[in-house]
Amino acid sequence: MIEDREPIRVALLGCGTVGTEVLRLLREYPTEYAARTGAPVHVTGVAVRRPHKHPEVPEHLLTTDAESLVEGNADVVVELVGGIEPARSLLSRALHAGKSVVTANKALLAEHGSELYAAADANGADIYFEAAVAGAIPLLRPLRESLAGDRINRVMGIVNGTSNYILSAMDSTGAGYAETLEEAGQLGYAEADPTADVDGFDAAAKAAILASLAFHTRVTAFDVHREGISEVGAGEIQAARALDRTVKLLAICERVVDEDGSESVSARVHPAMIPRDHPLAGVSGAFNAVFVEAESAGQLMFYGQGAGGAPTASAVLGDLVAAARNVVVSGKGPRESAHAQLPVRSMDRTPTRYHISLDVADKPGVLSQVASMFNEHDVSISVVRQQGRGADASLVVVTHTASDAALRRTVDKIAGLSAVLEVVSVMRVEGEPS
Ligand SMILES: NC(=O)c1ccc[n+]([C@@H]2O[C@H](COP(=O)([O-])OP(=O)(O)OC[C@H]3O[C@@H](n4cnc5c(N)ncnc54)[C@H](O)[C@@H]3O)[C@@H](O)[C@H]2O)c1
Ligand SMILES: N[C@@H](CCO)C(=O)O
Ligand code: NA
């Protein structure tokens, strides 16, 4: 009988939005977790900061001493505290003691992932982190395991629910930034410090994890070019709408191949205009979606709830079952795969496309002045649209692909032209043939 087997002991660190749901589900379906694991799964303690705030947790499980809980008899440590410290020290301690770890902490993995992998490897423990990227969506396991026999060329997607929730609302109802951010917080999507969401830090950490797994290369959060959504205003949303596009905060990880065949990895997070008929355009609210392009598999799309207590708990519990099962059968999960060690390309040298919207003086020759700036910087133009007369004259340009640095230099030069009254919006364009 499975119930009679030696239980797998689980220490839970943190009992906030996600931790509460993990604990609720473990207590609601013990027979199913036991059957899937091969042994009963017992929570031996829950580390929190303020015990009186957790009436839902049996009192005998609560502790404020996370260190002692980790050092105790747990087989698996589930970390749902977030942030770098004390999570880093606690997980390092657990791994060095040979205990497997399940975490949803993208910030920690994106900065210190290699150190944790090494500790896991050296001590025969596992580290699982499906919840760290795109919440409930099974994405990291497919990258780490199912696609291990393929060659991935691109991973592009919406990986931050909070900023997507805000951009979706701005686009569909014209809602304001602050009120929507507050709603996202109340719904449990936003990080404890929501600047991590709106300034792109959360998505950049996820991009680092995705790029590392996709390209078998160590990519950290510091390698990821990052721009958030704070500069996206009604002007940008309208400019996109006028061209049948919408604005999304995208994480883009690519293998870039130069003419001489040398390869590098580019990882970036920034707002971008995508066509309204692109599958990512229809991803709204806290939903996430990620495209993966692999040499043999072709295009794959992963879609689902990227944030929220229960969806994230689903991913954590899937990992917990895997880690616990490995303890039962003395098996091992996947290790770090960083054999390719491709260089990380700077944003300046990354090929991108720009959409530029300008208010211009209604005078002959404006178009040719602007066009000559593009020529000078070797940037070719894909679309030009000149609209209005007099004070309302405007010019919209969409470029072909060029290096990001050349595009930025061109915009700076154009802004300095006397005929250009205002640069209304500048945004990168993704999701359409270049
Ligand atoms: N909320 C989501 O939608 C979501 C989705 C995916 C991943 N995550 C990740 O999951 C983790 C947890 O997120 P959350 O939304 O549940 O956060 P949360 O802020 O709701 O919960 C964290 C809890 O940890 C507690 N805590 C802080 N320091 C502690 C310590 N030293 N010892 C014990 N407890 C401590 C806090 O009091 C809080 O209750 C984070 O890494 C986050 O990035 C969250
Ligand atoms: N704050 C994150 C949680 C999921 O990682 C988001 O909004 O997507
Ligand atoms: Na996931």
Rounded Cα gap, residues 109 and 91, in angstroms: 11
Residue 386 pLDDT > 90? no
Cβ of 45 less than 6 Å from ligand 1: no
Last residue within a domain, chosen from 328, 362, 386 = 328
123 and 160 part of one domain = no
Query: Is residue 392 a part of any domain in this protein?
Result: yes
Q: Which residues pair with 45 in a beta bridge?
A: 11
In one-letter notation, the amino acid at residue 125 is: A
Give me 56's structure tokens: 């839902």
Nearest CA to ligand 1 atom 8: 104
Quick one: which atom of ligand 2 is closest to the CA of 191?
A: 1
324 and 208 part of one domain = no
243 and 284 part of one domain = yes
208 and 77 part of one domain = no
Nearest to 140 by CA among 79, 212, 91, 82: 212
Specify the CATH number for the domain of residue 223.
Answer: 3.30.360.10
193 and 179 part of one domain = yes
Provide the pLDDT confidence category of residue 190 given band limits of 50, 70 and 90: confident
How many structural domains compose the chain?
3
Query: Is residue 342 a part of any domain in this protein?
Result: no
Specify the CATH number for the domain of residue 359.
Answer: 3.30.70.260
Average pLDDT on 228-233 reads 90
Cβ of 200 less than 6 Å from ligand 1: no
Residue 179 pLDDT > 90? no
Give tens-digit pLDDT for 399-417.
999 999 999 999 999 999 9
What residues form the annotated binding site for L-homoserine?
Answer: 191
Provide the pLDDT confidence category of residue 185 given band limits of 50, 70 and 90: confident
| Catalytic residue selected from 53, 206, 248, 363 | 206
Query: Is residue 253 a part of any domain in this protein?
Result: yes
198 and 121 part of one domain = no
163 and 277 part of one domain = yes
Query: Is residue 410 a part of any domain in this protein?
Result: yes
Active site residue 332: no
71 and 185 part of one domain = no
Ligand found nearest the CA of 102: 1
284 and 414 part of one domain = no
Residue 317, Cβ density class (10 Å: 0-12 exposed, 13-18 middle, ≥19 buried): buried
Query: Is residue 341 a part of any domain in this protein?
Result: no
Query: Is residue 187 a part of any domain in this protein?
Result: yes
Provide the pLDDT confidence category of residue 35 given band limits of 50, 70 and 90: very high
Cβ of 14 less than 6 Å from ligand 1: yes
Nearest to 305 by CA among 167, 138, 145: 138
Which range marks the domain in which residue 203 is found?
140-305
What mean pLDDT is reported for the chain?
A: 95
Average pLDDT on 316-325 reads 98
180 and 297 part of one domain = yes
In 10 A of CB 402, how many CB atoms? 21
In 10 A of CB 31, how many CB atoms? 10
Of 95-99, 158-162, 230-234, 351-355, the one with minimum mean pLDDT is 230-234
In 10 A of CB 343, how many CB atoms? 12
Give me 160's structure tokens: 């931050």
Rounded Cα gap, residues 135 and 316, in angstroms: 9
299 and 180 part of one domain = yes
293 and 315 part of one domain = no
The pocket of ion ligand 3, defined by CB under 5 A, consists of 130, 134, 137, 139, 315
Specify the CATH number for the domain of residue 99.
Answer: 3.40.50.720
Give tens-digit pLDDT for 89-138.
999 999 999 999 999 999 999 999 999 999 999 999 999 999 999 999 99
Over pLDDT 90: what percentage of the chain? 84
| pLDDT reported for residue 183 | 84
Provide the pLDDT confidence category of residue 198 given band limits of 50, 70 and 90: very high
Q: Characterise 330 by phi-psi region: left (phi > 0), alpha (psi -120 to 50), beta (else).
A: left
